[in-house]
Structure 1
């Protein structure tokens, strides 16, 4: 099953992110974004929060 997720990025504030996504070949963009999110979860989110039963993450506590 697939879930459709749509995001909007500010062309001025997120220009660097847009440039990277647009440079990636279209068939690989989804996997690129998925891997970036997985990398963030593994490396930036504290381990104790990952082990909680809740799937949601309170980003206000992290950032």
Structure 2
């Protein structure tokens, strides 16, 4: 009986540990997604600015 409880306890700890790892990985991925969104927005702004500069150059010629 003690051995059964011990095995059950080990399994519960493994499950809990896996849940913690999954949660941590999910949080890391959420932060990475936000960082990539910010990078994407910055690149979009840079491209828009460059397009405006090119349009201004073309209209002068």
TM-score by length of 2: 0.30
Higher helix proportion (structure 1 or 2): 2
Higher relative contact order (CA 8 A, sep 6+): 1
Give the TM-score, by structure 1 length. Answer: 0.30
Q: Which has the larger radius of gyration?
A: 2
